[in-house]
Structure 1
Amino acid sequence: MEGGGGLSEEDGMSERDEAVIRERREREIRAILRDESLSQDGKMSRVKEIMLRDFKAVAAKDREQAEANLALEGQQPMFHAEGVLGCSHYQRKCKIRAHCCGKLFTCRLCHDDAMDHKICRFSTEEVMCMICLEVQPVSRSCRHCGEEFARYFCGVCKLYDNEPGKHIYHCKDCGICRLGKGVGIDNYHCTKCNACVALVSKEKHRCLERSLEVDCPVCNMFLFTSVLPVIFMPCGHTIHSHCYEEYTKRNFTCPICAKSLADMSQLYHRIDETLAEEERPPELVGTETLILCNDCGAKSKAPSHYIYHKCRMCFSYNTRVLERIRISTPTSSGAAYIAAHAIPSVNPS
């Protein structure tokens, strides 16, 4: 192929060949620059064509080499840890052959990380034993050497997991495998959410239709098929467990609906005490604010403030301003104005 500047000997081109091609390219460019019949724009266009030709040749060679490396790598055993067959996602003793592209990967996640398309787990028909390297139809054990591929095997999802002590089951309602001992044992399937929920959370669980068929509000990964732990927030929305831990270090409301994620009564009590002691700014005297409570959804009026507005229904300060209203009987004292509105303080206990 013409123009292969930049390719190394191990990619299939010797240094001598590379030098010859580079010299030819430079000779062609010099000839173009000396050609008086060409305009300056014409010369630049011809030079660009030559450079682009060589760039495309290099890119094509790189793609060929990458595909060759991928095919070779797919035939080699991979390890989850030292002496433990598998990948970074799963422990297992086999690889799957992707039905979409025919390549071997240790798991579907490895495939999706390496390729520009997604695998369909249910379409997998063949696996390769990483003990004897025999490619064969999907099964629990190797038909050639008899090695069991994993402690857990699902013939529907084509899932293999050999991690000791890890509990997995296939939920027929979800249509995929879930972490846990099983429906009716430690989990139950919520038909409205279309998700498996821990039995210990059943009394507190708030249903939201198809609540798992969304992206995590923090990392944007699809939750329904995620292999990472997912939790239900008090409002019913879902999020990765590790994303929730990081998010709540700096936030106290749901990133989707803005409802409070914890008991805020002690904080609200301190805000009550602060507002009772401070004088209202002169520019806010004679005004009140129409607010919407993020926690209970009620609209109410509160003394105008630059930061804090208390819901008159549930006494939460998790509110947002809708409108500032001028009133006819202003008072400058924060304590007097709050007392006049008779909003009870939140019990901090």
Structure 2
Amino acid sequence: METQRLANESSHEKDQALIELESGNFGCPHYRRRCKIRAPCCDEIFDCRHCHNESKNSMEVEADNRHDVPRHDLKRVICSLCYTEQDVQQHCIQCGVCMGKYFCSKCKFFDDDVSKKQFHCDKCGICRIGGEENFFHCNKCGCCYSTLMKDSHICVEKAMHQNCPVCLEFLFDTMKDITVLPCGHTIHLECVQEMERHLQYSCPVCSKSYCDMSGVWEKLDQQVASIPMPQMYQNKTVWILCNDCGETSEANFHIVAHKCLKCKSYNTRQIQGGSASCSSRIAEMVR
């Protein structure tokens, strides 16, 4: 009786899995596919490596036990239809189901949503999305960029082999959209948009302005001209460093802001006494 009950439960589970597969309800929030993975690091089963990493790096896990799955070390997968555990391959050895229309044997990666136009970059060593014809690999930056940037981007060595300067997520294999600022530093697109919502328009890494600020500089010109300094400060000068062009210069002291004598930017900081920069004043100008 017990054997028959287990057999019936197993049959029911398989029927339910088949219904889910046929209706498209398979995979996880990260990928649509017909398999799970056995993590080589902890020997546990997860829907994908991102599910593993989110689980094993949560606040509920002790710090010493947190870890990411070594994606290239993956050796075993479990078919979502017949539950057969097997070596990594595109088609199940038991039921023959295709576990992912896109399959990369190098990354041990499956995904049924081929509209992403996945491709493997040998130089990056991982799979990316967007269509191979739309990207090129920059050897100095050490990552793939859109072909639209091929002759225009500023190279920064290993630009994406670092954390986002805002949210601190590692950029190289992030699933979020990335943008490259004019200075060459990389950052999540949504993090740039969040900065703009808080009226921050300079790179969080090098402090260079990343958009056209000429209108703001004109408003600051008008404000500086409209607020004359007291007699005792009219001949006072300070040394400033321009965050935009990198030049140092001696400027007339003003309580509002200090203008770079070379590029006319107000994105400057005092390097001898006084406040560090006029970023708060710039934020007021763009409100």
Normalising TM by the smaller chain, what interval?
A: 0.7 to 0.9
Root-mean-square deviation over aligned CA pairs:
1.9
Match of 2:281 in 1: none
Instruction: Determine which of 294, 309, 313 is the counterpart of 2:243.
Output: 294
Query: Shift of residue 284 of structure 1?
Result: 2.4
Find 2:35's aligned residue among 88, 91, 94.
94
Partner residue of 1:206?
154
Q: Which residue of 2 aligns with 1:281?
A: 230
Correspondence 1:231 to 2:179: yes
Amino acid of the residue matched to residue 205 of structure 2? I
User: In structure 2, which of residues 191, 207, 222 is the aligned counterpart of residue 243 of structure 1?
Assistant: 191
Question: For residues 259 and 265 of structure 2, what CA distance do their matches in structure 1 show?
Answer: 6
Aligned partner (choices 233, 256, 261) of residue 210 of structure 2: 261
1:160, CA displacement in angstroms? 1.1
Question: Which residue of 153, 157, 163 corresponds with 2:113?
Answer: 163
Measure the CA separation in 1 of the matches of 2:232 and 2:151: 48
After TM superposition, what 4+ stretches of structure 1 lie above 4 angstroms from structure 2?
A: none
CA distance in 1, matches of 2:160, 2:273: 39
Q: Is the 8 A contact 2:39 2:74 kept in 1?
A: yes
Q: Deviations over 1:145-190 (max 9, x none)?
A: 11111121111111111125111111000111112211xx111000
Kept in 2, the 8 Å contact 1:189–1:196? The answer is yes
User: 1:277 offset after TM fit, Å?
Assistant: 2.4
Rounded Cα–Cα distance in structure 2 between residues aligned with 1:307 and 1:237: 29
Q: CA deviation at 1:281?
A: 3.4
Aligned to 1:39: none
CA distance in 1, matches of 2:270, 2:256: 10
Name the residue aligned to 2:136.
188
Do the aligned partners of residues 112 and 274 (structure 1) sit closer, same or farther apart at CA in structure 2, a change above 3 Å counting? Answer: same
Match of 1:64 in 2: none
1:322 corresponds to which residue?
Answer: 271
Distance 1:265 1:291 in 2: 19
Distance 1:145 1:264 in 2: 61
Tell me which amino acid in the other structure corresponds to 1:119. V
Matches within 5 A, 1:309-348: 309-323=258-272
Inter-partner Cα distance in structure 1 for 2:78 and 2:94: 11
- Report the secondary structure of 2:52's partner residue: helix
What does residue 108 of structure 1 align with?
Answer: 49
Gaps of 5+ in 1: 1-75, 326-349
Deviation at 1:222, TM superposition (A): 0.8
Hey, what does 1:272 align to over in structure 2? 221
Question: 1:285: how far off?
Answer: 2.3
Segments of 5+ residues of structure 2 without an aligned counterpart are 1-15, 57-65, 275-287
Give the Å deviation of 1:324: 6.0
The question of 1:154 aligning with 2:93 is answered no
Matched residues in 2 for 1:283 and 1:260: separation?
33
Q: Kindly name which structure, 1 or 2, has the bigger radius of gyration based on alpha carbons.
A: 1
TM-score (norm 2): 0.81
Counterpart position of 1:177: 127
Moved more, 252-261 or 172-181: 172-181
Q: Contact 1:151–1:160 (CA<8 Å) still a contact in 2?
A: yes
Q: Return the alpha-carbon distance in structure 2 between the equivalents of residues 277 and 283 of structure 1.
A: 18
Structure 1 window deviating more from structure 2 (281-290 vs 218-227): it is 281-290
Corresponding position: 1:121 with 2:71: yes
- Among the aligned pairs, what percent are the same residue? 40
Q: Is the 8 A contact 1:288 1:324 kept in 2?
A: no
Q: Does 1:139 align with 2:80?
A: no
- Report if aligned partners of 1:304, 1:324 keep a CA contact under 8 Å in 2: no
